[in-house]
Amino acid sequence: MISFISEKLFENLTYTVRHGLIKGMKRKGGLGFLPAVFSRSSQNEIEEAFLGSLDLKGKVVYDIGAFQGIMTLFFARQARAVVTYEPHPANYQRVLENVQLNALQNVVILNRALGDRESTLTLVYDPRMPGAATGDPAISAQIRSSLAQPGTTTVPVVCLDDDLTRHDLPRPDFVKIDVEGMELAVLRGMQKALAADHPVLYLEMHGATEDEKRRKAREIIEFLSTAGYRCIRHIETGTTVTTANSAVANQGHMYCTLDADCYALTFHLTLRAENLPRVAPTSRTLQRMRFHSCPTIECRTLTTQSSNQGLRMSMQAHHGAPRAILATDNPPAKASVEDLAETPKKLRTLKRRTGGENAVALWAN
């Protein structure tokens, strides 16, 4: 219903986005002119918190499956260059418009699909939801069976490896893939790039049924593991994903890096007594603290010591993303990192407010 309202009533409205990843940028389409309470979900907030934590400065980002270009606009704010693929003709035109509205000069937009071989592909979609156009056989059949007149369009398909060579495109540092069930085909078509460039991967998972979603997740994890991507995190839960527990990633998003990009942080965090509530620091205080999923963080408490000076926690975090967020429901608390071991990288602290809670964000330099 929201997609229908957005497409039919506000399709040609140009406005300045009020919230989210592209707050302050201009856009056509969508409902970004409404207050966040009307157009955002908790899942969106998790994804936005994670993406907002990434440092993409100086990077070459590939946005594969752009829809109307929201992620393209977001990436273009930081990245050195953005290469965008959007095969659906109407969506492609909207990406062009949104990029032009913001006078972005670091974006290349290509009107074709990516896959594992050069061919053509029929995209099937609900006219009320053109952002979900798909070439996946099972999802296409699902859409056809539910609509009297589904939308269809035939588009060219190329391999990213071939496009990189033929058109001398910049080599990828970060690749976002949201292609409605065709993720594995896209990955197979960029095997040379994966081997040569080792880009960080950010995937949105899709499938026609729960069984299909689990199958696709397992196949993708197996493929990525073979390609050397063994540091894989499920964004929504922060879980480390392997072939043994791949079902956890049957929906949502995955953040994938090589082993070399993962490192363990062991740090000691002290919450000073004067910054805690007017009660003695106890294990109960600790229980009220939690690690948010600004994910790819898995953290476990090694030791806890409380005294009249404060609460001292030794923790270990397995890092696959730039930062973790430690938050508490208590009044504002300041934290200091006393020492850091098992990594040559320094740990910095930043106090900020997130989702109405007081948070201390930790990340590696």
Could you tell me the residue ranges of all domains in the chain?
A: 2-256, 263-364
Q: How far apart are the first and last CA of the chain?
A: 43
Closest residue by Cα to residue 256 from 287, 217, 302:
217
pLDDT of residue 101: 97
- Please write the tens of the pLDDT for every residue from 177-193: 999 999 999 999 999 99
With pLDDT > 70 as the criterion, what percentage of the chain qualifies? 65
Q: Rounded to an integer, what distance in angstroms lies between the CA atom of residue 135 and that of residue 154?
A: 9
- Please write the tens of the pLDDT for every residue from 191-248: 999 999 999 999 999 999 999 999 999 999 999 999 999 889 898 887 889 999 999 9
Closest residue by Cα to residue 143 from 154, 157, 155, 129:
129
Quote the tokens at residue 268.
């000691």
Q: Rounded to an integer, what distance in angstroms lies between the CA atom of residue 188 and that of residue 84?
A: 18
- Please write the tens of the pLDDT for every residue from 59-118: 999 999 999 999 999 999 999 999 999 999 999 999 999 999 999 999 999 999 999 999
Model confidence at 134: pLDDT above 50:
yes
Quote the tokens at residue 315.
């923790």
- Please write the tens of the pLDDT for every residue from 9-35: 677 899 999 888 999 999 998 877 777
Helix or strand (DSSP H, E) at 139: helix 137-146
Which of the residue ranges 3-17, 33-47, 264-278, 320-334 has the most confident prediction, judged by mean pLDDT? Answer: 3-17
Q: Which residue has the tokens 């059949």?
A: 141
Structure pTM? 0.73
Closest residue by Cα to residue 122 from 147, 95, 150, 92:
150
260 φ, ψ (degrees, to nearest 5): -65, -20
pLDDT of residue 344: 31
pLDDT of residue 230: 85
pLDDT of residue 11: 75
Domain with residues 2-256, CATH architecture: 3-Layer(aba) Sandwich (3.40)
- The answer to whether residues 265 and 343 touch, using CB atoms and an 8 Å cutoff, is yes
